Each structure stands twice: as C-alpha cells, then as structure tokens.
Amino acid sequence: MTDNQDIRMLIDGELVPAVDGDWLESVNPANERVIARVPAGGEKDIERAVAAAEAAFVPWSRTPVSERAAMLRTFASRLRAEGDRLAALETADTGNTIGISHFDVAYGADVIDYFAGLAHESKGETSQPAEPGSLNVSVRIPYGVVGKIFPFNHPLMFTAAKMAAPLVTGNTVVIKPCEQSPLSTVAMGEIMRGVFPPGVINVVTGAGGHAGEALVRHPNVRRLAFVGSVPTGLAIQRAAAEVCVKSVSLELGGKNPMIVFADADFDAAMAGAMRG
C-alpha cells in the first residue's frame, strides 16, 4: 500500500465511500505520516449496512451450516495467505511490533477455523417436564444482525476472531473498527468480499460518536459486542437500553494482577508477565 491511498469500506458486497463523501486520515504512530484515508461513515452508512445485513440474514441463516463453515475456513486460509501484507499494515497503523501483528493474523485465522469446526455442535435440547403428556424443547436460533465495535490495539485479531461465532451460527454482521486504526479491518473486508455473499458481513469506518453510536442505537441490530474502555462500554449499554431490549456483551479494560511467590520459577513468571 502506498501512502495517502483512499480505501473504501464494505457494504452489501461493494467497496464504497461514505454517503456524505467525508474521509478520515489514518496516521502511522511511529512517524506521524498519513498512511491512507478511509470513509468517515455516519448514520446513513450504518443504515445502508444494517439494511444489507437484514436482507442477507434469511438466506444466510438458511444456508446449510456445513457451507457456512466451509466459507469460514476459506476466509481463514486467505488470511494466512495474505498474512505478511496484513501484518505490515497492522503494524503501520497501530504501532504494534511486526511479531505481534503476525501472531494476531495467525491467532485470528485459528479462531475462525475453531468455530468452523464447532458448526455442528449448536444443538437444541429436549427434557421431560413434571406435567404428564408434555415435552420441553429448546431450539437455538440466530439473533439476526449483530453489531461489533472494536478498539485500536488489535483490530485485525478482534475482527477475525469475533466474527466467526456469529457467522457460523447464521447471523449477519456489521463491524465498526476504531477510527484510529481501521486499515487492517478494511483490508480484511476486501478479502471477505470474495468469500461471503453480499450483506453477510459489512465494515463501516467512522468516528465512534457518529458511526458507532448509530450502530448501537439502530433498533434492528439485535445483538451488540464491544471491546474497549469502561466509560465507552457504559455509554454503549445506556444507549442500547434507550432504544430497545437487545443482547449486549462488553469486554472492558482488563487490569489483571499477578502474584509471584518466593518459591516460584522467576524466569517463568517474568515470561508469563511479559506475555500477558
């Protein structure tokens, strides 16, 4: 990728600019150079993406689970094939070391393969209730449109790893990456375009206060998943509750203490602390 390139986002199987024609600059934190521009999506773009995801939901949920799993495996293979390019882009956009970025590509692809392997394990249950002549039956069904909002630090890994479960279980997805580091997610959108049917997965770039809030507040987004800070997670929970009852999961800032006892293997403990 050359510097100052304009990159489009994925909506309904097409790579498109923002409706309003606005752009955001993505800057390399190491040298403060503009790497590329991405669309500054907003409410209109989220509306387009959610509408596309809604239209794709019924045919996707009716696609045999083995076919959905096969598409996920194809996507994982293409991620590995594009690993060097994606890792370099991730490092330039986030400031992560190239080793970490390569790990994130491999880990994301492995998680996709893992959930593809679990495709046939999503099963309902039956049980005999106390009342004679009756039967309790539980059936697992997809939510519909799932919204995903990810932070700046590991966008490639979060996008790859956290899209797999909803897709293999028949949901469609709208992803809003962090405006500070959207490039690897947008690049993955280009790969997704060649694997999944139009509308099954969409990527909308833009500021959290515009595209992000529109995604959270959209009444037809039945489930939301967010990774990021506690204040933003609280704001998302409040905003979602004001619209309708929807499923929300929040993976917020983790501060994990580590206790090292006097008789511990110091080298092993330090290696574990550095690895996180």
Write out 113-136 in H/E/C secondary structure: HHHHHCHHHCCCEEECCCCCCCCE
The H or E element spanning position 186 is: helix 183-193
Token match 């080793």: residue? 99
CA dist 4 and 158 (Å) reads 25
* 43 in active site: no
Sign of CA dihedral 147, 152, 154, 155: positive
Closest by alpha carbon to 162, among 89, 249, 47, 33? 249
List Cβ neighbours of 28 (8 Å cut-off, separation of 6 or more).
34, 35, 92, 93, 95
Active-site residue set: 251
